[in-house]
Amino acid sequence: MTPGPERYELTWAGKRASLALAEAPASGTLAAVDGDGPHRLIKGDNLEALKLLEPELGGQVRMIYIDPPYNTGEAFTYRDMYQGHDRWLSMMAPRLILARRMLRDDGLILVSIDEHEHRNLVILMTEIFGEDCYIGDLIWKKKSGGASQAFAFAVDHEYIVVFGRNPGASMFDDTQANVSTRYPHRDERGLYSLERLDKQNLGYHDSLDFPIEGPDGRVRTVHHKNPERKQARWRWNAETVKARYDELIFRGRFVYTRNYRKASARPRSLLIDARFGRTRTGSRNLIDLFGTEVLDYPKPVRLMAHLVRTCAGPDDLVLDFFAGSGSTAHGVLAVNEEDGGRRRSISIQTDVPCEPRSKARKLGFQSIADVCAERIRRAGGELAVFEVVGA
């Protein structure tokens, strides 16, 4: 019997117990606190909240984004009980299992992570979602300089790991992509460039190496850089050339087709342009709303808007169960304002108290969840607030 592909599995102390947590029934209930808007904030443990939401919204979420606590060895804002690989993995595993159940068949989950747990996270998510559902990593440039305390080299990026609920799930085109291609020609359909019909890198096939006669009677052939070792071919077969002959452009010795400028492009894996923001941009977003930074290291609205734009359609539901200050919900509101969409957001945030001497406490906020709620309101969101009780 031929052995199959090598598979990797994470094993850690407490794994079996952590997986069992996903199957344990919810022990609490959701209680309405304030408001009745289309956007929701749930205060309380996110594992319990996900269990309580599943009967209503399981299989309905198009996009999940989370920015969980990073296992850096420092105290987490979320709960420092999750330090260490074993505890961190035990925290993540049941929540990711429930997250998968919340997604639609074409749903996507995006997880921000740094280098400390990136590899373990990918293996864990591969176990839960399946190897064929791993779409890849986005790499966000979070800062522009500094890092004078770096040990080996300055790390100025974070990963955003992307998985689909099923293998066919994919992101939408980026409607704000910076296109580097020049389009020097124009006709009634718009701007276009010329693209040669013969290509060197598509793989040679003799059925795609045939003469084409132009309107001027001149015959064009596939151009081989080395005629003794043929590698080029036409992009179209003979039947397509005959059917779409009027679309061909004959110039000199070559045949071209028109490549029209598109309104969008496939998303890029490198999120390094200024349009995606930096950590300091996220801080500025909070200053604009509150007059001070309030919380440390929020994700910028520019970044979140890009992710929402490429992962959630105009009527889709977006979930963030490590909501923090509410950057994801703010991104949803920003994109709705851009395109007139009716996307809804659900934010789940543990009711972690603000430190007594923190800027948030000085502004009157008792917890991070309170900051999140106020941010969503100030950003223009009609909000319904719930809390997990009895858990």
The domains located in the chain, with CATH, are: 46-177+265-349 (3.40.50.150), 185-260 (no CATH)
pLDDT of residue 94: 97
pLDDT at 77: 41
pLDDT of residue 83: 54
Task: Tell me: pLDDT of 122 over 90.
Answer: yes
| Alpha carbons 379 and 381: distance in angstroms, whole number | 6
Q: How confident is the model at residue 144 (pLDDT cuts 50, 70, 90)?
A: confident
pLDDT tier, 116 (very low <50, low <70, confident <90, very high otherwise): confident
Please report, rounded to a whole number, the percentage of residues in the chain having pLDDT higher than 70.
91
Residues 263, 160: Cα–Cα separation, whole Å: 25
Residue 347 has pLDDT above 50, yes or no: yes
User: Which has the higher per-residue pLDDT, 6 or 25?
Assistant: 25
The answer to pTM > 0.85 is no
Q: When comparing pLDDT for 289 and 71, which is higher?
A: 289
- State the pLDDT confidence band at 76, using cuts at 50, 70 and 90: very low
Looking at residues 15-28, what average pLDDT do you find?
95
Question: Please, which residues have CB within 8 angstroms of residue 213's CB and are 6 or more apart in sequence?
Answer: 219, 220
Q: How many CB atoms lie within 10 A of CB 112?
A: 21
Q: Summarize the confidence of residues 179-198 as an average pLDDT.
A: 87
pLDDT at position 156, please? 86
- Per-residue confidence at 88, pLDDT binned at 50, 70, 90? very high
pLDDT band at 10 (very low <50, low <70, confident <90, very high): confident
- Phi-psi map region of 280: left, alpha, beta (phi>0 left; psi -120 to 50 alpha): alpha
| C-alpha gyration radius of the chain | 26
**What local confidence, expressed as pLDDT, does residue 4 receive?**
39
Q: In 10 A of CB 373, how many CB atoms? A: 26
pLDDT of residue 80: 42
Residue range 180-204: average pLDDT?
87
Q: What is the mean pLDDT of the chain?
A: 90
Give me the DSSP letters along 101-134.
HHEEEEEEEEEEE-TTTHHHHHHHHHHHH-GGGE
Residue 72 has pLDDT above 60, yes or no: no
Quote the pLDDT of residue 44.
96
Across 40-52, average pLDDT? 97
Q: Which two tokens stand for residue 26?
A: 């919810």
Q: What is the pLDDT of residue 182?
A: 82
Res 381: pLDDT = 94
Listed range (57-61, 73-77, 81-85, 207-211) with the worst mean pLDDT: 73-77
pLDDT band at 180 (very low <50, low <70, confident <90, very high): low
| Count of C-beta atoms within a 10 Å radius of residue 168 | 10
- Decide: helix, strand or coil at residue 192: strand
Q: Which residues in 253-282 are b (16+ Cβ under 10 Å) and which e?
A: eebbbbeeeeeeeebeeebeeeebbbbebb
Weakest-pLDDT range from 82-91, 96-105, 338-347:
82-91
Among 136-140, 189-193, 307-311, 312-316, the least confident range: 189-193
